[in-house]
Amino acid sequence: MRKNASGINNSKQRIENKNNDLDLYLKALNSAYSGIIITDNLQYDNPIIYCNKAFETISGYSHDEIIGHNCRFLQAQDRSQAERKIIKESIERGEECKIEIRNYRKDGTLFWNELFISPVKNDDGQVTHFIGVQNDISDRKKAEYDLREEKSHVELKIQQRTKELQDKESFLSSIIETVRESLLVLDANYIVLSANRHFLNSFKVTTEETVGNLLFDLGNQQWDISSLKEMLTRILPTNNPVIDYEVDHIFPHIGRKVMLLNAYRIEFEGQYKDRILIAIEDITEKKEQDRRKDDFLSIASHELKTPLTTIKGLFQILQRLSAENTDPKYVSTLDKITAYIDRLNLLISKLLDTSKIQSGNLELHMDPFEIDKTIQDAVESMRLAAPDSDIQLTGNTGSIVAGDELQIIQVLNNLLSNAIKYSPESKKVEVSIHKVANFVKISVRDYGMGISYQDRLKIFERFFRVSHIQKKFPGLGIGLYVSHEIILHHKGTLWVESEPGEGSTFNFTLPIVTNK
Amino acid sequence: MQPKKIMICDDDRGILEMLELFLELEGYNVICEINSTHLTKQLISHKPDLLLLDLWMPILSGDQLIKIIRSTTEIKETPIIVLSASVDGPEIAGNLGANGFVAKPFDLTDITDKINSILKN
């Protein structure tokens, strides 16, 4: 009995122990992070017969809502996933499988389920149950998805950027090939990296004999030009960029070229540095035209002066021969002719002045003089010459300037006669002289027609005439150009302030040498 | 008193005739030469007291002529006044040893003043 009793006790004990173990296992299952279910494969439609707490959390359903369902209830309406077929086949064959499948919580939200299914077999090898372990991998999936999205976005961007760059490059290279200026790119050792079409055409060379060669070796050393070397090796490194550097060179095959060179050291971050871009403007033709124009002016004024000399001489002889004839009309007629001969001579001289200035032959006789007195005298003689005008002079500087007094008088005469000429409605002209720092500033103010902004930009150019006034006020367009050049030669500046309809103020400055 | 002899060399007939008329009125004996290549020969044969010389002339220009005159024994002392409308006239005249320069177009009194001051010496 004891033995029996103890046997019963033992089996009771065993059952109790087993129950304790089962409790422990259930607790373990419920504290797992993964959702776990068990389905009964022997029942119709393989219903869920167990789920742990984590499965409730993952799916959003309660235990009682889950039990009895086939697992597919988690797929909601999303029935077309390829993974379903894998599950189906594994269950039919009684095999394990591991898949990632889109499932839906009770509230309809999507979660990615990493599902591991494994069959439980009885001793006969029959599959009685399946155990499903699920993990919500939505966060990981989202991260993967984001990464993929980001990657494809970046790829798209790269494609776009590449295309933009290609477009830009073909745009740039079409500009480079089209410009009517020669362009060369050199490396730091003056090897030609590229040359545009205009360069090849202008200097009658091919790409093959240019690119990859030392600049100074090109075309049998015809580019071995000392001033070019000087610019590249000495001036450019300390003085980047070099603008409008003039090179005059005789090329053996193409003859003399006068070129304006602009050079820049260029750097393209991460790709290269110390490259040199040279832009070459061929100004040979322009120089030649300028020279011809100067020659023409010089010859024309010389040739005009020759018959004028004869006319003037003959006229003076006539005046002398008729000294006894005192008829006032006769005398005043002769005086008028004298005035017009002088005016003609003045016009021709002005033409010659421009050609002198243009060819750099303007002779200045620099001596110190009292500027106040010079201005007073010039104003006084203009008052005599134009008695109708009302010229007012203000200011006194007591300064001595160094310069060619006759030239300065010519400048003031130009400005005064312009002020009178272009102010037919207003007689008043104000001349003022002031000391400004170490300069004297002379201003000539009129109340005439004024000058538009566009015309103000060009008014000091040679032969420039404001088009609409040419008929009313004919002129050569020389006075202001010559005045501007004269003041420039004196290291001063000449400028204008004006508004159309409100008159103009021409100002010029001259550096002071000493004060009295 | 024998009138002073003045020779004028210019390739422009108008100037020649005008100066000839004027200088004769002033009482000078005037000889004109329009062809610069004949000038040296004329100077040697006429021995003028003074020469008025243009600069820009075809074949032989004024500056070349001054050099020739200054190196030709019989006429090297001839006083020369250069007449020119050229910009660089005064410089050329000065450098080559001319005795005076008058810019064209000139006042006739400038011519007589220059001639008188040179002939006085």
Q: Chain A closest CA to B73's CA: distance in Å?
A: 32
Mutate to test the interface with A, among B108, B110, B113 (most CBs of A within 10 A): B108
Question: From CA A344, how far away is CA A473, in angstroms rounded?
Answer: 17
Confidence category of residue A342, pLDDT binned at 50, 70, 90? confident
Assigned token pair, A155: 């790829």
Strand partners, A186: A192, A276
Q: Chain A closest CA to B87's CA: distance in Å?
A: 8
pLDDT (mean) for A242-263? 86
0.80 cut: is pTM over it? no
The answer for residues whose C-beta is within 8 angstroms of residue A263's C-beta and 6 or more apart is A231, A232, A236, A241, A242, A245, A276, A277, A278, A279
Q: Which of A191, A194, A189, A203 is nearest to A176 (CA)?
A: A194
Question: From CA A286, how far away is CA A290, in angstroms rounded?
Answer: 6
A284-321 helix and A328-358 helix, angle to the nearest 10 degrees? 160
Reply yes or no on whether the pLDDT at A441 is more than 90: yes
* Contact predicate B41/B64, CB 8 Å: no
In this predicted model, what pLDDT tens digit does every residue of A84-128 receive, in sequence order?
A: 888 888 888 889 999 999 899 999 898 999 999 999 999 988 999
Q: Residues 92..111 of B with a Cβ closer than 8 Å to A: which?
A: 104-108
Q: What pLDDT, on a 0 to 100 scale, did the predictor assign at position A340?
A: 86
Confidence category of residue A38, pLDDT binned at 50, 70, 90? very high
**Measured between CB atoms, does B119 come within 8 Å of chain A?**
no
**Measured between CB atoms, does A301 come within 8 Å of chain B?**
yes
Q: What pLDDT, on a 0 to 100 scale, did the predictor assign at position A467?
A: 67
In this predicted model, what pLDDT tens digit does every residue of A121-170 receive, in sequence order?
A: 999 889 999 999 999 998 988 898 899 999 999 999 999 999 988 888 88
Mutate to test the interface with B, among A299, A306, A356 (most CBs of B within 10 A): A306
Contacts of B12 in chain A (CB under 8 A): 306-307, 310
Reply yes or no on whether the pLDDT at A298 is more than 80: no
**Measured between CB atoms, does B12 come within 8 Å of chain A?**
yes
If one compares A354 and A56, the residue with the highest pLDDT of the two is A56
Reply yes or no on whether the pLDDT at A65 is more than 70: yes
Q: What pLDDT, on a 0 to 100 scale, did the predictor assign at position A4?
A: 62
Q: Chain A closest CA to B14's CA: distance in Å?
A: 6
- ipTM surpasses cut 0.90: no
Contact A306 B22 (CB under 8 A): no
pLDDT (mean) for A417-426? 84
Q: Chain A closest CA to B99's CA: distance in Å?
A: 21
**Measured between CB atoms, does B18 come within 8 Å of chain A?**
yes
Contact B85 A314 (CB under 8 A): no
If one compares A365 and A348, the residue with the highest pLDDT of the two is A348
Lowest-pLDDT choice from A141-150, A217-226, A465-474: A465-474
- Minimum CA–CA partner of B13 in chain A: A310
Reply yes or no on whether the pLDDT at B96 is more than 60: yes
Contact A320 B86 (CB under 8 A): no
Contact B18 A313 (CB under 8 A): yes
**Measured between CB atoms, does A24 come within 8 Å of chain B?**
no
Contact A305 B21 (CB under 8 A): no
**CB under 8 Å, gap of 24 or more: what pairs does B85-92 form?**
B85/A301, B85/A302, B85/A305, B85/A306, B85/A309, B86/A302, B86/B55, B86/B56, B87/A298, B87/A352, B87/A355, B87/A356, B87/A361, B88/A361, B89/B55, B92/B55, B92/B62, B92/B63
Lowest-pLDDT choice from A172-176, A194-198, A199-203, A482-486: A172-176
- Minimum CA–CA partner of A345 in chain B: B105
Residue B113: strand, helix, or coil: helix
Reply yes or no on whether the pLDDT at A476 is more than 70: no
Contacts of B30 in chain A (CB under 8 A): none
If one compares A238 and A286, the residue with the highest pLDDT of the two is A286
Confidence category of residue A515, pLDDT binned at 50, 70, 90? low
Per the listing, tokens 């889109």 go with A102
Amino acid occupying residue A296: F
Contacts of A308 in chain B (CB under 8 A): 104-105
* Contact predicate A38/A49, CB 8 Å: yes
3-state secondary structure A79-127: CCCCHHHHHHHHHHHCCCEEEEEEEECCCCCEEEEEEEEEEEECCCCCE
Contacts of A309 in chain B (CB under 8 A): 14-15, 18, 85, 104-106
Q: What pLDDT, on a 0 to 100 scale, did the predictor assign at position A439?
A: 92
Q: Over the Cα atoms of chain A, what is R_g?
A: 51
Per the listing, tokens 């980047």 go with A240
Share of chain A above pLDDT 70, in %: 91
**Measured between CB atoms, does B113 come within 8 Å of chain A?**
no
Q: What pLDDT, on a 0 to 100 scale, did the predictor assign at position B47?
A: 94
Reply yes or no on whether the pLDDT at A516 is more than 60: no
- Minimum CA–CA partner of A351 in chain B: B87
Q: What pLDDT, on a 0 to 100 scale, did the predictor assign at position A1?
A: 47
